[in-house]
Chains A and B, each alone.
Chain A
Amino acid sequence: GAVVSQHPSWVICKSGTSVKIECRSLDFQATTMFWYRQFPKQSLMLMATSNEGSKATYEQGVEKDKFLINHASLTLSTLTVTSAHPEDSSFYICSASSPGQGSAGANVLTFGAGSRLTVL
């Protein structure tokens, strides 16, 4: 089945530094990837839709200058948390739409393993 790889799985950084998280579709091409944020015991909050070769589409309330998304190839999207602060500490999880594996050929959202960011 479709596999999405996400790195790093966890990262600790100092306040004010930037952190990059990579999301790769390993066995399929993904023109669209999605970045979610998940707080402990809470739901998956969609942050942005990453579009290959064009600008990402951000959800309301998500700062695009804070969370930079680059989708330079059909298999790679990156999320950079710029000037990270303790309130940015969270679990960030990417996903990609893998073709035709769902009900009646629907594209299925396949998730990466997530990246736990801790900002000191």
Chain B
Amino acid sequence: GENVEQHPSTLSVQEGDSAVIKCTYSDSASNYFPWYKQELGKRPQLIIDIRSNVGEKKDQRIAVTLNKTAKHFSLHITETQPEDSAVYFCAARRNTGGFKTIFGAGTRLFVKA
């Protein structure tokens, strides 16, 4: 079945450093890859997404890269700030079969001031 693996499970960085979270997916029919940020006690919020016909997308301090051949995609956060501390989930979705989205296990990011 569909599966999304995410690493690392926990990531601690110093303020100002970069953070990278990596994911792999198993369903070759997946063609849409969103990233969600979930702060403690709150709902997941979409922070960036990418479609399979694009290799990279950037939005200010965050960027996502996609290697469709290898079924890898990554989130890059530069110049991290304490407010970036949260749990980040990668996900994969195919545009058929009900559009269901499968999530990775999550990465708990700590940004130390």
Residues of A within 8 A of B (CB): 32, 34, 36, 41-46, 49, 51, 57, 60, 93, 95, 97, 102-104, 106-114
Contact = CB atoms under 8 A, between A and B. Distances in A.
B50 interface: yes
Contact of A113 (B1, B36, B43): B43
Q: Is the interface of A mostly helix, strand, loop or mixed?
A: strand
Interface of B: 1, 32, 34, 36, 42-46, 49-51, 53-54, 57, 89, 91, 93, 98-106, 108
Contact of A43 (B1, B53, B57, B106): B106
Given A34-B100, A102-B32, A104-B51, A43 B46 contact: no
B54 A44 contact: no
Contacts of B104: 43
A41 B50 CA distance: 26
Interface centre among A41, A42, A104, A109 (most CB of B within 10 A): A109
Q: Is the interface of B mostly helix, strand, loop or mixed?
A: strand
A106 B44 contact: no
Contacts of B46: 102, 108-110
A57 B98 CA distance: 9
A111 B44 contact: yes
Contacts of A51: 98
Contacts of A97: 99
Contacts of B50: 103
B33 to A, nearest CB: 9
A43 B51 contact: no
Contacts of A57: 98
25 contacts: A32-B98, A36-B103, A42-B105, A42-B106, A43-B104, A44-B103, A46-B100, A46-B102, A46-B103, A49-B98, A102-B49, A103-B49, A103-B51, A103-B57, A104-B51, A104-B54, A106-B51, A108-B34, A108-B46, A108-B49, A109-B34, A110-B46, A111-B43, A111-B45, A113-B43
A56 to B, nearest CB: 10
